[in-house]
Structures are given as structure tokens and as C-alpha cells.
């Protein structure tokens, strides 16, 4: 995934309108691009071509349905550890070796390692966390989500 | 809602994206040996039940200049946490917003909100907006910036049976 900003002239006003409009509510109808294009004052073929180009240029990462991971089954838990600096690299290796560790970030805090466990079954979360504690000799704090709020996040293009 | 094997096949076929074709659902149906109407109906049912959050494009916020982000964390009065969390989640610059258990004494925070901005200074300005919104209901807060990605793998559904 592209992690650097696009040049200022990479997007025109129509591209920006597409990016802003299609962050929700793509139609579930036989000709959804035609419908979405009409709302933007475009024709179907040019909307499809522009989305293709935006994807090729890295302005969008994905186009399609966004699924709730838990609704599809599986269990997820955010975990954190306070890892002493001199052991950090060793602990990264031990933690990342678990396939259940989906992502792992170093963060600026006494709790300096934050990772997500993604497991098939809820009981596997505690099992993997205990295993990491045993291997590293450090506590794994578990922060399961108690409530997820609806997100109004919009990137203004 | 429980999803069945056909739903799972539709998820597996579309989780990396919809085909950019005039009749994308018909195309997916063709791959799976289903009717277009059934694919549309099943996607609609999954959207209604929350299995699908939205059908949309995901802007690459890095490409659009939002290169800074921080995990803001808040110790919010439990009695008000649901109501205030909903208000924080609704902000346009917050991409994830959760209530999680505290782990005192190391961790007094129960509300987590991921903030995105064009610079760390902007993220701090946005964090101050959240602090103002929470007011006296918030006893303490912090923000954790990621200093390194140590691992990043997609969480992808392949096939439950497979």
C-alpha cells in the first residue's frame, strides 16, 4: 500500500467528488456503477475507468464490501505488553512467530508493544496470550472490545 | 445473523474487491454458479445485519496526505461512556472507536479512538477537540503514536471448511 502523499495535481475535481461520494452506500442493484455515476453527473464507463485509475495510482486501497471480521466468525483481541528496551528485539521475534498475531506496533508508552490476536475461537485468545507470557516472561494485558461505536470517519479528498 | 456456506463463498469472492464491470454482482454470481439476484439479496441481507458494514471505496489516507495518526485513550466516567463514545466515534477524523476494559494501575483508560491528520500537530489539535467534547467526564487521557510497524498481515477469510 502506498504510504506517501500523491502529487498535488494527481486528482482532479471529479476524482475528488468520486472519493468523497463513494465512501458509503454503493448501490446493490444490477447496474450500480450507472446509478452511482448518474448521481455524480458522469456516465457508467467513465466512473469505472476513474475508479480503476484511482486504484492503480494508490489513491484508494479497496473497492467493495467491508465485512465485520467478528460477524464472519473468529475472535479478536487487542493486547499490550511493557517490554524492556534490552529485550525488545527478542520479544518481537517471539510474539511475531505466532500466526495468530495479525499486526503488531511499537508505540510510545510504557506499554510499548501493541498487537492484535486473531483466532478461530474465543478460547484461543487466552491460550495464545498465556503462551506468549510463558515464552517471554512478561505480562500480556488483554483489551477485548466491549463496545464498538459507529464510525463517521471520512477522508476529505 | 448466521451466515451460511454460500454467504461465505460470496465473502471470499468479494473481500479483495468488487469487479470493476458494469454488472459486478452478475460477474460474482457467474464465478460462483449463482444468480445475480441471489448474490444481491444475500449481500443486502448481510448489510442489513451488520456483517457488511458498507459497500464503498476505501481512500488511501496516506496518499491523500493524512500521514499522521495516533491512538488516543481516555478514562471516561462509566455512566457516560456509551453516550460520549458514540459522539467521539461520529467525528470525521476518528477511524476506530471502542470501549475496552481498564487494566489498573498500568492502564486507567476505557475509551480508545484512533485519530488521523496531516501532521502530528494536527492530530494534537483534533485530540484537544475530543478532550473538549468529553469535558469533566474524562479524568485522564493520553495518546500513543506508533513508532514502528512490527508485523502487519491481513486478516482474511479463506474458507472455513478448507
Neighboring chain A residues of B3 at a CB cutoff of 8 Å: 71-72
User: In the predicted model, what is the mean pLDDT of chain A?
Assistant: 93
pLDDT of residue A150: 83
Smallest Cα distance from B84 to chain A, Å: 10
User: Is the CB of A67 less than 8 angstroms away from the CB of B92?
Assistant: no
Asked if the model's pLDDT at residue B160 lies above 60, the reply is no
A38-87: per-residue pLDDT in tens? 999 999 999 999 999 999 999 998 999 998 877 777 889 999 999 999 99
Residue B111 — very low, low, confident or very high, per pLDDT cuts 50/70/90?
A: very high
Topology (CATH level 3) of domain B68-145:
Alpha-Beta Plaits (3.30.70)
Contacts B115 to A, Cβ<8 Å: none
d(CA A14, CA A24): 17
Q: Best interface-test mutation with A: which of B145, B150, B160, B162 has the largest number of A CBs within 10 A?
A: B150
Q: What does the pLDDT look like over B64-80, one tens digit per residue?
A: 888 889 999 999 999 99
| Residue B54 to residue A30, Cβ atoms within 8 A | no
Q: Is B47 an 8 Å CB contact of chain A?
A: yes
B11 has a chain A CB within 8 A of its CB: yes
Average pLDDT on B105-119 reads 95
Report the pLDDT value the prediction gives residue B162, as an integer from 0 to 100.
27
B63 and chain A in contact, CB less than 8 A: yes
Is residue B154 scored above 60 in pLDDT? no
Q: State the Cα–Cα distance between residues A89 and A83, nearest whole angstrom.
A: 9
Q: Is the peptide bond before B105 cis (omega within 30 degrees of 0)?
A: yes
Average pLDDT in the B35-46 region?
A: 98
Cβ atoms within 10 Å, residue A105:
20
Nearest residue of A to residue B158 by CA position?
Answer: A72
Say if the ipTM goes beyond 0.95.
no
With 0-12 / 13-18 / 19 or more C-beta atoms within 10 angstroms meaning exposed / middle / buried, residue A134 is: exposed
Residue A104 phi/psi, 5-degree rounding, is: -150, 125
Residues of A in contact with B126 (CB under 8 A): none
Q: Where are the domains of chain A?
A: 13-57, 75-143
Specify the residue for cell string 480508545: B112
Segments making up each domain of chain B, as ranges:
5-49, 68-145
List B residues 70-129 in contact with A (Cβ-Cβ < 8 A). 71, 82, 85-86, 88-101, 103, 106-107, 112, 116
CB burial of B110-140 (b: ≥16 within 10 Å; e: otherwise) equals bbbbbbbbeeeeebeebbeebeeebeebbee
- Contact criterion met (CB < 8 Å) for A153 and B142: no
Query: C-alpha distances in angstroms, B51 versus A2, A69, B1, B3, B63?
Result: 28, 8, 8, 9, 28
Class of CATH domain A75-143: alpha beta
Whether B151 and A104 have beta carbons less than 8 Å apart is answered as yes
Instruction: Determine the pLDDT at residue A63.
Output: 95
Determine the Cα–Cα distance for residues A155 and A151; give it in Å rounded to an integer. 12
Q: Stretch B117-144: mean pLDDT, rounded?
A: 97
Question: So what's the pLDDT on residue B161?
Answer: 32
Minimum Cα–Cα distance from A18: chain B residue: B57
Q: Minimal CA–CA distance to B24: which of B40, B5, B46?
A: B40
Q: Is the pLDDT at B158 greater than 50, yes or no?
A: no
Closest CA to A62 of A22, A110, A4, A108: A22
Amino acid at each position: 500500500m502506498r504510504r506517501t502523499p500523491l502529487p498535488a495535481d494527481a486528482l482532479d475535481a471529479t476524482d475528488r467528488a468520486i472519493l468523497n461520494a463513494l465512501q458509503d452506500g454503493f448501490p446493490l442493484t444490477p447496474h450500480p456503477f450507472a446509478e452511482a455515476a448518474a448521481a455524480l453527473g458522469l456516465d457508467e464507463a467513465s466512473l469505472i475507468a476513474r475508479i480503476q485509475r484511482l486504484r492503480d495510482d494508490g489513491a484508494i486501497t479497496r473497492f467493495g464490501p467491508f465485512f465485520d471480521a467478528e460477524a464472519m466468525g473468529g475472535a479478536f483481541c487487542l493486547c499490550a505488553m511493557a517490554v524492556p528496551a534490552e529485550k525488545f528485539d527478542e520479544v518481537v521475534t517471539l510474539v511475531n512467530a505466532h500466526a495468530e498475531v495479525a499486526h503488531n506496533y511499537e508505540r510510545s508508552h510504557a506499554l510499548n508493544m501493541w498487537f492484535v490476536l486473531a483466532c478461530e475461537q474465543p478460547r484461543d485468545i487466552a491460550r495464545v496470550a498465556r503462551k506468549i507470557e510463558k515464552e517471554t516472561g512478561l505480562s500480556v494485558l488483554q483489551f477485548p472490545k466491549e463496545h464498538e461505536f459507529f464510525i463517521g470517519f471520512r477522508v476529505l479528498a | 445473523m448466521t451466515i451460511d456456506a454460500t454467504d461465505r463463498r460470496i465473502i471470499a469472492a468479494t473481500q479483495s474487491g468488487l469487479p470493476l464491470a458494469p454488472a459486478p454482482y452478475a460477474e460474482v454470481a457467474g464465478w460462483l454458479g449463482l444468480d445475480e439476484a441471489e448474490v444481491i439479496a444475500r449481500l443486502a441481507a448481510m448489510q442489513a445485519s451488520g456483517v457488511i458494514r458498507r459497500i464503498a471505496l476505501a481512500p488511501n489516507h496516506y496518499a491523500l496526505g493524512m500521514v499522521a495518526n495516533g491512538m488516543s485513550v481516555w478514562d471516561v466516567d462509566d455512566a457516560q461512556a456509551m453516550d460520549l463514545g458514540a459522539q467521539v466515534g461520529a467525528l470525521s477524523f476518528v477511524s476506530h472507536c471502542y470501549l475496552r476494559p481498564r487494566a489498573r494501575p498500568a492502564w486507567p483508560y476505557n475509551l480508545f479512538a484512533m485519530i488521523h491528520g496531516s501532521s502530528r500537530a494536527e492530530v494534537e489539535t483534533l485530540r484537544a477537540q475530543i478532550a473538549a467534547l468529553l469535558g469533566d467526564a474524562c479524568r485522564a487521557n493520553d495518546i500513543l503514536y506508533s513508532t514502528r510497524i512490527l508485523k502487519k498481515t491481513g486478516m482474511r477469510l479463506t474458507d472455513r471448511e478448507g
